[in-house]
A and B are shown apart, each in its own frame.
Chain A
Amino acid sequence: KAGVTQTPRYLIKTRGQQVTLSCSPISGHRSVSWYQQTPGQGLQFLFEYFSETQRNKGNFPGRFSGRQFSNSRSEMNVSTLELGDSALYLCASSSRQLHTEAFFGQGTRLTVV
C-alpha cells in the first residue's frame, strides 16, 4: 500500500510569490490534514479536509488556504510569501474514524528568500 505522497519535496520561492503544495493520501483515506513544522514553533495544525470540505482550521492567516479534490488529493496554497513561511509542510491522511492513526508524508521543505 503506497504511503502519503507529497510533492515537491523541496521548493525555493521569493518573498511575495505564491506557492502550491500537493498531497496524495493513502488509497481509501478521505481525510487530509496539513501541518507546518518549524524549529521555533514546532508542529502546528493548519487545516483538515474531508470529502472536499474543510472540517477544521488552525490559527493561520488567510494567506494559507487549501482544497481537496474528489479523489481525496489535496493542495495547499500560500500567497504573498513571507520569510517566516519557510518551514517543512507536512500532510497527514487518515480514514477519519475517530482517533485512528494519522499517516504523515515526508513533507515539502519550503524556503522563502
Chain B
Amino acid sequence: QQQVKQSPQSLIVQKGGISIINCAYENTAFDYFPWYQQFPGKGPALLIAIRPDVSEKKEGRFTISFNKSAKQFSLHIMDSQPGDSATYFCAATDNTDKLIFGTGTRLQVFP
C-alpha cells in the first residue's frame, strides 16, 4: 500500500514534443505529490508538486494532472527540450513527510 507505481521506465521524445509520465498510488493517506528531476551525478531536485485538492498545476512547460478518484497523477512536459533529458521521479507523502518514490523514468529528448 506504500508503493507508487511509475511508467514508462524510459521515454524517447523529439524536441518540441510532449513528454508524459504516469504514476499511481494506493495509500489514500498520501496528501502531497511532488515530482523530482535528477541529472547524472546529481541529487534529485524538486520540479513541481501538487496537493489532492486541485486537479491540475502548471509551472512553465511542466504540468501535473491529478485524478483523486483514480489515484493517479501524471507529469506533462510541453515543448520538450534536450536539456530536459534526465530521470524523473514521482513521489508521494503523508503527514510524516517521508517520501515514497516511484521507480523513475529516464527521459531522452532528441533534437
* Residues on A facing B (Cβ under 8 Å): 4, 31, 33, 35, 42-45, 48, 55-56, 58, 90, 92, 94, 96, 98-99, 101-107
Contact = CB atoms under 8 A, between A and B. Distances in A.
A106 B99 CA distance: 17
Contacts of B97: 31, 33, 48, 56, 94, 96, 98-99, 102
Interface residues of B, number: 24
A33 B44 CA distance: 13
A93 to B, nearest CB: 11
A57 B92 CA distance: 16
A106 B96 contact: no
A48 B46 CA distance: 18
| Dominant SS among interface residues on chain B | loop
B45 interface: yes
A106 B42 contact: yes
Given A45-B98, A56-B96, A94-B97, A99 B41 contact: no
A106 to B, nearest CB: 5
Contact of B93 (A42, A99, A103, A105): A99
B32 A107 contact: no
Contacts of B31: 99
A48 B32 contact: no
B30 to A, nearest CB: 11
A56 B100 CA distance: 13
Contacts of A104: 36, 43-45
B96 to A, nearest CB: 5
Contacts of B89: 42-43
Contacts of B102: 42
B43 A105 contact: yes
A48 B102 CA distance: 19
B77 to A, nearest CB: 20
